[in-house]
Structure 1
Amino acid sequence: MELNKIKQRLELALRPVEKPPTLEEVLEEVSTRGVLRGPVDWVFPAWMLYVDYVVQKIAESFQLTEEEKAQLLQFRHAMRRLLLDMWKQTKEKLTALHKAVVEGMFKIERGRLYAPGAWMYINANTPHIKINDISTSARFSDVLKLPHERLELFQLGWRASDESQKKRWPDMETAQPWQVFAWVATRYGDVYIRAAMVNLTHEGVSASIHIIARSWRHRWSKAEAISLVVDYLRRGEWAPLFTAWLGDGNARWSKVLRGKYILSIAAKESWRLGLVASTYEALVATGREAFVKLREAADVYGELLDLLKAHKWTYIKLATDDGLRVAYKLMKEREKAVLRLKESLQRIRS
């Protein structure tokens, strides 16, 4: 990446925040984009606000024992502490990098930019910094209370998509706050949480969290999981495909708002999942009925995704609820009109 673009990304990341994030803003971002992006001093408070909100909603909405509620609160505390430390380290590193770039006190070597006290990866479309030595452990409650056989179907879909393997344990790295809770609900128990990295985007930063589920052991390779998802689908069981789509499904908002329903999943070996739509995309199904099947497969999991405001779940609901889709389109049109009005007023004032 060119040096002036790196400097611009650093300035976007470090720009002052006029006001702290509101819960409404955070939930809007999660429900439409999944990822929280913005200045460092906005993103990390937004993450913490979201964690607080979700833990409270889960405690209110699901039948949990007092011990399970206490575990949830401890999980919240662990996440907040990790995010606070991650915020501090991110700010320190990006400030040092920006100062070095401005003053010319840096060197570039093997795709990295080195500055006094910090370095970053720049040999990619999205430069990023690694976060060091920030981790915690916690325990997440069994929120869904699903029979093991049913829970395993959801685990299978995650394994076929975003879930990886750390030694013998399942793990997940994500920049999407909703996905932290959606995944760990299927891998409840003892979890190890690590601050992974911070990406420098066109809008500021996004933060990635790495979670290892230490109460579970891996059962399937990636290829085995994908094959099993397909086998279950052929037998009429959509639950594994549901979580596979939550992980790697392509959400094409403009198409679904126009009533065009395409269920496709990003995959390196796309031929395993269905018709090859492109090199890394499988076309699994078309038509509204496919999304109806996904929604039905969610069962109680859908209740959790509702309160998480997960953007992939919002997409499924838009595809299956005509009234909601019309209301959503009207809301977006009003938002665009308000934005145009604000821009016009700003031009007049300037």
Structure 2
Amino acid sequence: MDRNKIEERLELALRPAEKPPTLEEVLEQVSRRGVLRGPVDWVFPAWILYVEYATQRIAEAFQLSEEERRQLFHFRDTLKWLLLEAQRQTKAKLTSIYKAIVEGTYRMEGKRLYAPDGTWMYVGRTMYIPIHGISASARFPDVLKLPHERLELLQLGWRASDEGEADGRPVIHTAQPWQVFAWTAARYGEVYTYIASVKLTHQGVSIHVYSKARNWRQKWNKNEAISLVADYLRRGERSPLLTAWLGDGKIRWKNILHSKYMLSIAAKEPWRLGNSMGAYEALVATGKEAFVKLREAAGVYGVLLDLLKAHKWFYIKLATDDTIRVDHKLKAENGKIHTKPTDRPSRTSTKPHKTTPHQQRSASKPRSRADKPGAVAVAGLIMHLNLVSGRGGSLLAGHYTRDPEKAHAAADKLKAAELRPNIVKIGPYYMIYIATTDLLGLAEEDDAVRRAVAQYLTEKAKNGTPRQREIAEKILQRHPFLNPGLPLLQNQ
């Protein structure tokens, strides 16, 4: 690997953290990608923050005896000590190697780069430094309280994916803090843990933790476990598939946000688990129902995954819950209004309202997601606000799709919420919209919708075209409940 690239990675790892990690930042990374990455002085405190959070939430969510609580918090303190010791060793090793590279005193032996003091790092397709002598054992309590046969199903899925074997005992090697707790809960008892290595990435470093469940014997080899997961699935039992997915499941955020449901798992021999999607990926199931059944199979384990903010569990929730998916889409839209969706908005105004053909033609062509105006969530759909001129002007909320079947499905959702949608073809798109009366009725019932509409209209009243300003001011004047905290706008 190029010396400049190695030096660059080391500088990223050793750069000072701009500020200490916050719990919000840590949970965001864990729920989005599972792994914590950043400078050494950020990542290790972030792991410690997560360990403190996870143990506290487990203690609050599960009924534990005093002895079990003592074990849980001792497990927490053990992990924190390991991380603090590993941070010191990591900083010292990376500093030594960086100094050797800058001064040109390093040497290469195969894939190892050595500093003069003997400190080395692996330099290949990945770069990492080994961590030595930082290990400890601690007991993790039985928080799930599952019958042995149910617990064994969860263990089977882990064995089919991320779990390995050492000295006849189950082990896991992970860079994802939530996996430490999710796996250990299924292999409770005495757990031997050590910080194995620190990997250098484009974003700093990531920490790799090794855990061994000393009170359990490994029951299956890898191929046997994978075949058993498939056998259970054919019989309708999905618990092993759930933990196999938590280990090696393939995540495609874009697909799931666009309602493309494919449940696939990385596997060296995909045919053992499902249809091959490539050399090392098995397509196990398709369709929303596959994810619904997987979520239902979790039971009490889902409670744990929820509080751990596991990104793969969040993926399952995105696939199965329209409200969560819409909420996530709104968050992902840079600069957009984020409103909390309602499960079933009802109409409060029954006054009929029709848009003229001229108004329909005046509705603007769907723009890119980056250019769209304010957004609201209605009946599980993202709808974008538009002012249309027409006679007198009006405010619409529209949802766009190219697929006529999806257009009618969206209209059915709105009808089920007691709204009166219209569908109009605009170029290659279908616009499914609700008119001003329905939209204002929702705004009266839902404070989040009211804020979104008020913010959109206020912005247009200030910075829109002359016609937009005129329409926005008129609507705000006629409906003061939209912005009770501000004085009414006056026509200029």
CA distance in 2, matches of 1:88, 1:333: 40
Paired with 2:190 and 2:116, the residues of 1 have a C-alpha distance of: 38
1:303 aligns with 2:271: no
Aligned to 2:271: 271
Partner of 1:344: none
Does the 8 Å contact 2:330/2:337 carry over to 1?
no
Give me the whole-angstrom Cα distance separating, in 2, the residues matched to 1:59 and 1:329. Answer: 32
Provide the C-alpha distance between the structure 1 equivalents of 2:142 and 2:154, rounded to a whole number of angstroms. Answer: 14
1:119 corresponds to which letter in structure 2? W
Alignment of 1:46-125 (within 5 A): 46-117=46-117, 118-124=119-125
Provide the residue aligned with 1:233 in structure 2: 233
Q: Distance in 2 between matches of 1:193 and 1:246?
A: 20
Q: Is the 8 A contact 2:264 2:285 kept in 1?
A: yes
TM superposition shift of 1:283 = 0.6
- How far the C-alpha of 1:108 sits from its partner, in A, is 1.1
Equivalent residues in 2 for 1:1-20 (5 A)? 1-20=1-20
The residue type equivalent to 2:269 in the other structure is E
Q: Deviations over 1:34-89 (max 9, x none)?
A: 00000000000000000000100000110000000000010001000000000000
1:142 counterpart SS class: coil
Partners of 2:195 and 2:336 lie apart in 1 by 36
Q: Give the counterpart letter for 1:229 in structure 2.
A: V
Matched, 1:154 2:188: no
How much has 1:332 moved relative to structure 2?
1.3
Q: CA deviation at 1:337?
A: 9.6
Q: Are the counterparts in 1 of residues 195 and 210 from structure 2 also a CA contact under 8 Å?
A: yes
Q: Secondary structure at the match of 2:151?
A: helix
Q: CA 1:224/1:129 → structure 2, altered by over 3 Å: closer, same or farther?
A: same
The residue type paired with residue 157 of structure 2 is G
In structure 2, the residue matched to 1:255 is 255
Distance (whole Å) between structure 2 residues aligned to residue 48 and residue 190 of structure 1: 21
**Pair 106,220 (structure 1): closer, same or farther in 2 beyond 3 Å:** same
Aligned equivalents of 2:214, 2:330: Cα separation in 1: 45
Determine whether 1:199 maps to 2:199: yes
Show the counterpart of 2:326: 326
Alignment of 1:274-293 (within 5 A): 274-293=274-293
Question: Which TM-score applies when normalising by structure 2?
Answer: 0.68
d(CA) in 2 for partners of 1:334 and 1:185? Answer: 37
Deviating 4+ runs (over 3 angstroms): 334-338
Aligned partner of residue 37 in structure 2, secondary structure: coil
3-state SS of paired residue (2:333): helix
Checking the alignment, whether the CA contact within 8 Å between 2:171 and 2:212 is kept in structure 1 is yes
Give the whole-Å Cα distance in 2 for the aligned partners of 1:10 and 1:335: 34
1:139 CA displacement: 0.1
Aligned to 2:220: 220
Is the aligned partner of 1:144 residue 2:149?
A: no
Q: Shift of residue 334 of structure 1?
A: 3.6
The Cα shift of 1:209 comes to 0.4
CA distance in 2, matches of 1:219, 1:269: 20
User: Could you tell me how far 1:116 is from its partner in structure 2?
Assistant: 2.3
The count of residues paired between Structure 1 and Structure 2 equals: 338
Segments of structure 1 that go 5 or more residues without pairing to the other structure are: 341-350
In 2, Cα distance between the equivalents of 1:31 and 1:18?
Answer: 22
- Compared CA separation, residues 335 and 14, structure 1 to 2 (3 A): farther
CA deviation map 1:153-192 (0-9, x unaligned): 0000000000000111000010000000000000000010
Q: Which deviates the most, 114-123 or 8-17?
A: 114-123
* One-letter amino acid matched to 1:88: R
Structure 2 letter corresponding to 1:327: D
Q: Is the 8 A contact 2:330 2:336 kept in 1?
A: no
1:347 corresponding residue in structure 2: none
Q: d(CA) in 1 for partners of 2:241 and 2:3?
A: 43
Deviates further, 78-87 or 328-337: 328-337
- Identity among equivalent positions (%) equals 67
1:163 aligns with 2:148: no
8 Å CA contact 2:27, 2:309 repeated in 1: yes
What CA distance in whole angstroms lies between the structure 2 residues aligned with 1:302 and 1:288? 18
Give me the whole-angstrom Cα distance separating, in 2, the residues matched to 1:241 and 1:78. Answer: 31
Please state whether the residue corresponding to 2:237 is helix, strand or coil: coil
Q: Partners of 1:162 and 1:328 in 2: how far apart?
A: 28
Cα separation, 1, equivalents of 2:272 and 2:116? 47
Report deviation, 1:336: 8.5
Matched, 1:27 2:27: yes
Local SS of the residue matching 2:142: coil
Aligned partner of residue 185 in structure 1, secondary structure: helix
- Report the aligned-residue RMSD: 1.3
